[in-house]
A = this chain, B = another copy of it.
Amino acid sequence: MLYFDHGATSYPKPKSVTAGALRAMESFGANPGRSGHQLALKASREIFDARETVAKFFNIKDPKQVIFTSNCTEALNLAIKGVLTKGDHVITTSMEHNSVLRPIKALENEGVENTIIQCRPDGSLPLEKVDQSIRENTKLIVLTHSSNLTGTLMPVEEVGKIARERGILFLVDAAQTAGLYPIDVEKMYIDLLAAPGHKALLGPQGTGFLYIKEDLYLKTLKEGGTGSKSQDLIQPDILPDRYESGTPNTPGIAGLKEGIRFILEKGRDNLLHHEESLVKYFLEEMKKLDFIHVYGPKDCKKQSPVIALNFRDMDSSEIAYILDSMFDMAVRPGLHCAPLAHKTIGTLEQGAVRFSFGYSTTLEDVKKAVEAIKSIGIEL
C-alpha cells in the first residue's frame, strides 16, 4: 500500500525505532524510577537519554523541562488547563485542531474567556489581529505551527515575539512540524511546546511531550505515584515527576529516542528539502488538472507536506475509498478534527482529501498518486 497519511502518523517507522522499542521490552522491561535494581536503572537511564535527546533537538536547556505524555493531545491539555484559570483570556486561531479548540471550549464553562482569530481562506494568520485581540487578562496564546488540514505554516516566531513583549505565555502545537522543521524554543519565544512522538519525530504511537519553560508552574492534570517523595500525600514539585505520574511508556519512549537519532543521522534539513520537493512536484501537477481544487497556500515553502484537495464537488470520502480500493493508496478524507479550519477554507460540508507525505515517501510514490488522480478524473 502507498501510504500518504503521514500527517496522522508516520509509517513505516525506521527499523531502528521498532528495534529500540523491542529492546526496551526484552532487555530492560522493568519499571523505571520505581526501584534501584539494575534493570530498573537501565530503564530509567533509557528514559533520561530520550529526554536529553528531545531537549537537545529543540534547544531546551534543561531536559527536566521535557514532560513525556501519551500523545500531543495530552500535552496540549496539560498546557492549556495547567495555565488557565477563571478570569483568564486565551487567544487562538481558526486553524487549530480540536485538541486545542475542545479544551479551550471546555474551559469556557469554568469562566475562561477566549478569542479565536479568523484566518484567511488559505489558512494564513493575519498577524495584526494577534495584537488587536490582546486584552488586559490575556494569559496565553495558542498557535499551531502548521495546520493539519492545509499545511499552512504559521508565523510562530513573530507571534512569539508579540507574546513575549506583552508578557503573555506562548504555547505552540507542533503536531505537524516537530521533527521536520527547525524549532528552537529560545529563538522562537516558545514557553510551552506540545508535540506528538509518532508523527515526524518517527517514534511509536503512545508518545508525545510537553516542554515547559523553566520556573513556569502548571496545575497538574493527574497526580499519583512518582517514585519521588513517596511519603507526601501531595504531588511533589520536582520535575519532571510533578507532571509524570504512574508507569511511563518505556518502550515507546525508547523508540522515540531512536526516531530522533534517525532524523539526526539523515539530517533534518535533508528530510525537509526532500519533502518540500515532493510537495512542489505534486502541487505543480495538480495545477494542471481542472477538476482538482487545492486548498491552502499552494506553495511548498509556505506549507508542511500536507495537501488538502477536492475533486470538483465529489464527496471526499468517496474519492478516498476509490484511492484505497482501486489504487491501494492511503489518504485521509472527511473532516480532519479541525472544524473551524474547514469553515475557514469552505469545506465543512464536503470535507477534503488530504495527502500527507513523510520521510519514506519517494517521488515515484507521488508520481503514482498523480497518475491515480488523473485516472479518477477521466471517469468524472
Contacts and interface: CB of A to CB of B under 8 A. Distances in A.
B36 A320 contact: yes
Nearest to A24: B205
A9 B247 contact: yes
Given A231-B339, A339-B232, A37 B5 contact: yes
A137 interface: no
Interface stretch (A119-127, A151-159, A160-168, A324-332): A324-332
Contacts of A53: none
A9 B37 contact: no
B224 A73 contact: yes
A341 to B, nearest CB: 10
A87 interface: no
A26 B204 CA distance: 10
B233 A39 contact: no
A186 B374 CA distance: 57
Contacts of A245: 73-74, 77, 99, 102
Given A36-B320, A223-B77, A29 B12 contact: yes
How many copies of the shown chain assemble into the complex? 2
A226 B337 contact: yes
Nearest to A36: B320
Contact of A234 (B71, B105, B234, B252): B105
A348 interface: yes
B334 A230 contact: yes
A196 interface: yes
A324 B102 contact: no
A103 to B, nearest CB: 5
A221 B224 contact: no
A260 to B, nearest CB: 17
A115 interface: no
A132 interface: no
A222 interface: yes
Q: Which of A25, A73, A205, A338 has most B Cβ within 10 Å?
A: A205
A198 interface: yes
Contact of A324 (B3, B31, B36, B220): B36
A2 B99 CA distance: 44
A110 to B, nearest CB: 11
A240 to B, nearest CB: 15
A124 to B, nearest CB: 22
B13 A205 contact: no
Contact of A332 (B35, B101, B221, B329): B35
Contacts of A246: 70-74, 99, 196, 208
A162 to B, nearest CB: 25
A22 B251 CA distance: 11
A134 to B, nearest CB: 22
Nearest to A15: B26
Interface of A: 1, 3, 5, 8-9, 11-13, 17-18, 21-22, 25-26, 29-31, 34-40, 70-74, 76-77, 97-99, 101-103, 105-106, 196, 198, 204-206, 208, 220-227, 230-235, 245-252, 317, 320-321, 323-324, 328-340, 342, 348
25 contacts: A1-B37, A5-B30, A5-B40, A11-B30, A18-B22, A21-B25, A35-B320, A38-B328, A71-B248, A72-B247, A74-B246, A98-B224, A98-B225, A99-B225, A103-B223, A105-B234, A106-B223, A106-B234, A106-B235, A225-B337, A230-B336, A231-B342, A233-B340, A249-B249, A251-B251
> What are the 10 A-B residue pairs with the smallest beta carbon separation, nearest first?
A206-B249, A73-B246, A99-B224, A225-B337, A102-B223, A73-B224, A8-B31, A230-B335, A37-B330, A71-B246
